[in-house]
Amino acid sequence: MNVVAGILSRQIGSRRVDTDRIVLNVRESGTGPLMLFFHGITSNSAVFAPLMIRLSDRFTTVAVDQRGHGLSDKPESGYEANDYADDIASLIRTLGRGPAILVGHSLGARNSVTAAVRYPDLVRSVVAIDFTPYIETEALDALESRVNAGSKLFKDLEAVEEYLAGRYPNIPAGAIKIRAESGYQRVEGGLRPLASPAGMAQTAKGLRADLTQTYRDVTRPVLIVRGEQSRLVSAAALAKTSRLRPDLPVVVVPDADHYVNEVSPEITLKAITNFIDA
């Protein structure tokens, strides 16, 4: 049995949810209070499967393919922070299990904090993994360049894995396999990413929007998690964010890069549970 099938078959179901705003594909497991997971740009909900398994004894864990990603709807436009946040609110209302704990990585972190500001009654708390205000222009330039170069045709799954391993050198082989097996679709001539190229280009541009007012306005509890070696969120950006909101707790994960939850799942799990229990 391959890695993804093995993980996702362990009490994780997949379905598409019509929120009356957009149809979103979700993976879900467990019982208890609602905990939603939101991936980074070009990724999909499967990357959170290992964390979902560990948390599903305490929570109803639901990982979401955000708009333009995975098996969710891919509209031609609507890829700003508020668009994603409104999707989150619509999903929570449709599931009828709020308020929800939101766990977001990168793009998902920005969207989760934005949702907490726009819909505080629907959000219990937020774990924001490796995305803050004050990200330097050079880091966003590099991110946008990588995103726009990612829509390639691959001859087979092995080629996808080789590409991803080179692009994400610190992500363990098992997590690379999850990305490869869940994030691509078979087309004529091989495999292409499920993520919409046009949607990704718009999303990458939207990540440049100023986030300082959003962080200034958030009233729900927020945990900020940064990978010590992150090339997106620098130590300086984190320090400025802490000066903006000194009341928000921070965890810096040693030896982890931007992809904290995949590189260091055990530390990420401990950070989440300690924050929630506190």
Ordered DSSP codes for 169-182: TTS-HHHHHHHHHH
Determine the topology of domain 3-135+210-277 in CATH. Answer: Rossmann fold (3.40.50)
Active site residue 105: no
* Catalytic entry in 87, 130, 182, 264: 130
Q: Encode pLDDT of 128-171 as tens digits.
A: 999 999 999 999 999 999 898 768 899 999 999 999 999 999 99
Active site residue 130: yes
Active site residue 106: yes
Q: Encode pLDDT of 170-190 as tens digits.
A: 999 999 999 999 999 999 999
pLDDT category at 11 given cuts 50, 70, 90 is low
In the chain, where the domains are located: 3-135+210-277
For the chain, the straight-line distance linking the first and the last C-alpha, in angstroms and rounded, comes to 39
What is the residue type of 175? Answer: A
* Catalytic entry in 39, 69, 105, 258: 258
The pTM of the full predicted model, rounded to 2 decimals, is 0.95
Give the tokens for residue 153: 């045709």
Q: What DSSP string runs through 7-71? A: HHTTT-EEEEEE-SS-EEEEEEE--SSEEEEE--TT--GGGGHHHHHHHTTTSEEEEE--TTSTT
Residue 187 CB neighbours (<10 A) = 10
* Catalytic entry in 29, 90, 106, 196: 106
Burial bucket for residue 85 (CB in 10 Å: 0-12, 13-18, 19+): buried
| pLDDT more than 90, % of the chain | 92
